[in-house]
Structure 1
Amino acid sequence: MAYLYLDDSKHHCFGFSLAAFVICSDDPTEEMRSTYLKYGFDPSSFEFKSSAKMKGNHRLQELRSALKANIGRRCRIAVCVVNGDKKLGPAALKLLGNALDHPELAGKRHQIFFDEGLFHSTNAAAELARDDGALADCEFHFEQDSRTLLGIQLADIVAHTCSTMLLETLGHITKMIIVDEPRDSVYHGMEIELGFEMWAGIRYGFLSQNKPNPKDDFDLANVDVYRWGLFIDESVSEEIAAAAMGRFGENYLGCIH
């Protein structure tokens, strides 16, 4: 059994919204509670939001880094891209159907948790899920409150991270950052693109499979994310569909030194 949590990140002025599943082999709640307490946050009253101002707040930055490290180490990721809000929930169900065809998830029962506001109503969401035979082994929990369901806060991080990566691919973000790692690290003080830094932290998490017929060593180091870990809705423009496929369709897992 896996626990899947979905949250979204909306970017209407740029023509897309993105939703992301975080897929956990175990319920992440207790580990997340311990992590929050370690960095001085009360999980019963504090909600992590990627949109919160991080500059100058070292505890919050450290918490974010710890949560992202946990995602990259212990979770799997799947994303869908749509135009507007109304298709987010239905597109996420289509993504889920594709994800459940992956060998890690196929043939097992799963718990699925959706953030609030992704469907017209809980009844409409349940009906869509019932109509898809690929989702028969799932127990759904729609309209969940992210303030109390900590797993959705992990999905918030992934949705924000992946939408930032897509915005950079589309040319809307050109930010460079200075790597702040221990001084003996080869990366300390290096200037890199924001999108690269975000990708490097979660790249091992994308739901993927090895290429069936790799042509060379570089191809061998790339895995296919589409279609298990990526769904692109027909509502998006050709430009955004191409950018999403280029950004997420396959993933490089080789050395980046």
Structure 2
Amino acid sequence: MGHFYVDDSVHNEAGFIIGACVYTEIDLSNEIDNIIEKHGYDKTEFEHKSGASYSKDPNKIKVREGLKQLLIHQCKLGVVVIPSDQREKLGFECIKAIKTFIVHNNLKDPNDIYFDQGHFMSRQKAQDAIDAQNFTDSSFILEQDSRVIKGIQLADLAAHVASMHFKSTLHLITKMVKSGENSGYEPDSDMELGFEMWATLRYTFFNKGTSEHAGDHTRDSMVKVEPYGLYVSELCSIELQGKARQAFADVYLGCIH
């Protein structure tokens, strides 16, 4: 059985929301609990929140890095882009996106699909939207607490990292950091913070895969993400659609260490 976990990252100042749909083939709750407990937190109380401050508690950074490794090695990711002034429609757009991701990636049923709290004001309207997509043997579990449904914490992290990358491509993040180990780049090279956070998560996207272009390293290292792992809402302006596709539709993998 597959599992989808849905959460979002809202950026009113930039005019967009990223919804993250994280897919796993197995329940990763135990692995997430182990990461939380390993760094000194109570698994029944602690939850990773990307908006929390990390500067005074380095162990939270270690939890985040542990969750990122789970994302990279055991999950696949699809992202949804909608305008920030259409927040009340995010959940409905994510329903459409998940149907798209299931179809284009040939995912097998059944699937359990978990949404974080606050995505739907009306359960009946949500159910109507689900029914309209003709899902087969999939269960939607709405309004879930991420302290209980641990996979939502992975979606929270994925939405945050994807948003930071998007803001970086929009030149809204300019802080430079060292690329570090396992980034696909020279460890001492400089890159923007938004891209540094993105450098490993990019391998997680649902995608079509690479094509062979003899002698063209750049084209051989590109993967097509849309529509396999990118859903750009029709609610977006033409400008926002273009920027979203520039950021996510084709992803350069570079060297994988």
What does residue 113 of structure 1 align with?
114
Letter in 2 for 1:21: C
Deviation at 1:193, TM superposition (A): 1.1
What does residue 201 of structure 1 align with?
200
What does residue 45 of structure 2 align with?
45
Letter in 2 for 1:118: H
What does residue 241 of structure 1 align with?
241
Range that drifts further, 157-166 or 50-59 = 50-59
Deviation at 1:104, TM superposition (A): 4.9
Letter in 2 for 1:115: D
Q: What is the aligned residue count?
A: 252
Alignment of 1:193-232 (within 5 A): 193-210=192-209, 214=213, 216-232=216-232
Alignment of 1:150-165 (within 5 A): 150-165=150-165
What does residue 89 of structure 1 align with?
91
Distance 2:71 2:41 in 1: 19
What does residue 136 of structure 1 align with?
136
Q: Secondary structure at the match of 2:93?
A: helix
Quote the sequence identity (%). Answer: 35
Distance 2:57 2:232 in 1: 35
What does residue 20 of structure 2 align with?
20
Q: Secondary structure at the match of 1:226?
A: coil
Q: Secondary structure at the match of 1:130?
A: helix
Range that drifts further, 28-37 or 236-245 = 236-245
Verify the 8 A CA contact 1:204 1:253 in the aligned structure 2: yes
What does residue 101 of structure 1 align with?
103
Q: CA 1:116–1:178 in structure 2 vs 1: closer, same or farther (change >3 Å)? A: same
Distance 2:44 2:61 in 1: 19
TM-score, normalisation: structure 2: 0.91
Verify the 8 A CA contact 2:6 2:20 in the aligned structure 1: yes
Q: Secondary structure at the match of 1:13?
A: coil
Verify the 8 A CA contact 2:104 2:227 in the aligned structure 1: no
User: Which string of whole-angstrom CA distances, capped at 9 and with x for unpartnered residues, describes residues 161-210 of structure 1?
Assistant: 1111111111211111235659xx951x5432112212212111000012
Deviation at 1:211, TM superposition (A): 5.2
Letter in 2 for 1:128: A
Deviation at 1:86, TM superposition (A): 1.4
User: Which string of whole-angstrom CA distances, capped at 9 and with x for unpartnered residues, describes residues 196-232 of structure 1?
Assistant: 2122121110000125675744322211110021111
Distance 1:85 1:3 in 2: 24
For structure 1, the 5+ residue unaligned runs are none
Deviation at 1:9, TM superposition (A): 0.7
